Chains A and B, each alone.
Chain A
Amino acid sequence: MSTRPRSQRRKYGLTSKRVEQLSPSGIRRFFDLLASMEEVISLGVGEPDFVTPWHIREAAIYSLEKGYTMYTSNLGMPELRQELSRYLRDNYELGYNPDSELLITVGVSEGLDLAMRAIVNTGDEVIMPDPCYVSYSPCVILAGGTPIMVPTSEENNFEISAADIEARVTSKTKAILIGNPANPTGAVIPKDKLLPIADIARRHKLLVICDEIYAKLIYGVEHTCLATLPEMKESTILLSGFSKAYAMTGWRIGYAAASAEVIASMTKIHQYTMMCAPIMVQVAAIEALKSGDASVAEMVEEYNQRRLIIVQGLNNIGLSCFEPRGAFYAFPSIKSTGMTSEEFAENLLIEEKVAVVPGTAFGQCGEGYVRCCYATSLADIEEALSRMKRFVDRHKK
């Protein structure tokens, strides 16, 4: 029993209200269950199954031997920014000034957080698709903004439509946030669908934050970088990095490319909270940009073969799956089983020891779907498919 008078008791909890309103991961129970099991084939991962190419690792090791152990400029090493500037020019014909329009971040995750905190005023709205990557909405909330979800559906290839965006634009709208290609769906928004989105941004003077971390993992279609669209370079915050294409997830390095004004603002937060990305990781990133193209091409070819196998396999066992054109995820519908996404994932794990991620982890519109990552060996994909077939046959409604 507290002896303190009621008036002196703490008014709020120990943690901030802003953090408390973030919904805890709804699939915690699923993760705990998974952690307790052995011999699980996991299609639940979100990273390559390749180890970082040796030439990139070797560059980092050499940098340590040479004593690269200090801070770098807040923006990142000049050589890395120059390489990046060259890379963006060669790949997209985009001219970013390495001294003012590029910032090296600790992964796209940090870049996204910085971007949101740099542009959002309390109460500002940021429009994004549902389903989308798990950190989009929390980053907006932590910055004091309000995420506005735009439902997307399999019928429209999970592409966010310009009309749906426009219907949600208000006086408080600050920005549009999209991932292209998208996690969890693998959808790639084609140029003709991006143009009207760019048009909305221009007309309503909105910023567009584009997460293009999967831009290099593209199969049989062309990827359009949003910043390349007419008059869009100034109002786009391009976020990308090295994790997926160069198999460097654990290194934690990415970048932001935007107008000097936005980069200066993001850099302020970065310098007070992160200082800089680790120097040996930046050295590795330079090597990746300079001579990583061949390794990327090899990995993309393998992903593509696995993609074709898993998409056809899922369709064959009765989990209809639209064709993902980017990233390394398939996003099949599990509606034929009559289960919810979470039930499906949990039962599949218990009965057949295959891990997939419930679509609802990525938003309400993910209900009825699960995310299957095909960045795993062909043998494991085949085995997972045959286990899933048994499971689906047993539960088909």
Chain B
Amino acid sequence: MIKDILKILENDARTTTKQISTMTGTPSTEVAKLIKQAEKDRTILKYKTIVNWEKVGEEQVLALIEVKITPERDVGFDSIAERIYRFPQARSVYLLSGTYDLAVLVIGKTMHEVADFVSQKLAPLEGLQGTVTHFMLKRYKEDGEILEGKEEVKRQPVIL
């Protein structure tokens, strides 16, 4: 049941408890309880909104930084990953297989701001072998949502 609820909320966090109750055939009180529990045990991490900032003329610089590191004895990659993800500038941090180890997603107001973070905070960290910074040029799709030119439903108003 909790999985059904989570799926509905992941698709639209504003779905009300009452709606979820009807959609899943679970009493409202039970839905509320399960959601509260999921929030408490951090199954639900956060409710957020996907924004197209360009629409309000807000510039944003997003960069994907490849980080190559030397794993440490006992803790592997985790300890250095933690040093990185504690920076609020690091929006997402993933451990990857392949030619580099960590992918760090950084969002800043200007290119300068991002560059400063990489050169002054990230690169000097102990255990880092090197970084490669990719600045994002255009966002086409974010979390499953197409930013521009989303397909409209082209239906006749009444069809029997």
Which A residues have a C-beta under 8 Å from some C-beta of B? Answer: 30-31, 34-35, 40, 42, 44-47, 49, 51, 133-134, 304-305, 308-309, 312, 355, 357, 361-362, 378, 382
Contact B157 A309, beta carbon cutoff 8 Å? no
Residues of chain B lying within 8 A (CB to CB) of residue A133: 160
Residues of chain A lying within 8 A (CB to CB) of residue B153: 49, 51
Q: Does B25 make an interface contact (CB < 8 A)?
A: yes
Residues of chain A lying within 8 A (CB to CB) of residue B156: 45
Contact A34 B160, beta carbon cutoff 8 Å? no
Contact B19 A357, beta carbon cutoff 8 Å? no
Distance A163 CA – B151 CA, assembled complex (angstroms): 49
Contact A44 B22, beta carbon cutoff 8 Å? no
Distance A214 CA – B113 CA, assembled complex (angstroms): 56
Q: Does B23 make an interface contact (CB < 8 A)?
A: yes
Contact B155 A361, beta carbon cutoff 8 Å? no
Chain B residues bordering chain A, tally (CB within 8 A) = 16
Other than the known A49-B153, A308-B23, what 19 A-B pairs have Cβ atoms closer than 8 Å?
A42-B158, A44-B157, A44-B159, A45-B157, A45-B158, A46-B160, A47-B159, A49-B155, A51-B151, A51-B153, A133-B160, A308-B22, A308-B24, A309-B23, A361-B160, A362-B160, A378-B12, A378-B15, A378-B19
CB contact under 8 A between A355 and B23, given known A51-B151, A305-B8: no
Residues of chain A lying within 8 A (CB to CB) of residue B159: 44-47
Which B residues have a C-beta under 8 Å from some C-beta of A? Answer: 8, 12, 15, 19, 22-25, 151, 153, 155-160
Distance A34 CA – B151 CA, assembled complex (angstroms): 24
Q: List 8 A-B contacts (CB under 8 A).
A: A40-B157, A42-B155, A45-B157, A45-B158, A305-B23, A309-B23, A357-B158, A378-B19
Which 4 residue pairs spanning A and B have beta carbons closest together? A44-B158, A305-B23, A46-B159, A42-B157
- A329 nearest CB across to chain B (Å): 11
Residue of B whose beta carbon sits closest to that of A301 = B7
Distance A133 CA – B160 CA, assembled complex (angstroms): 8
Contact B155 A34, beta carbon cutoff 8 Å? no
Residues of chain B lying within 8 A (CB to CB) of residue A304: 23
- A179 nearest CB across to chain B (Å): 13
Contact A309 B19, beta carbon cutoff 8 Å? yes
Distance A303 CA – B12 CA, assembled complex (angstroms): 15
The contact of B22 among A309, A355, A362, by CB within 8 Å, is A309
Distance A16 CA – B157 CA, assembled complex (angstroms): 31
The contact of A312 among B8, B22, B157, B158, by CB within 8 Å, is B22
Residues of chain A lying within 8 A (CB to CB) of residue B160: 46, 133-134, 357, 361-362
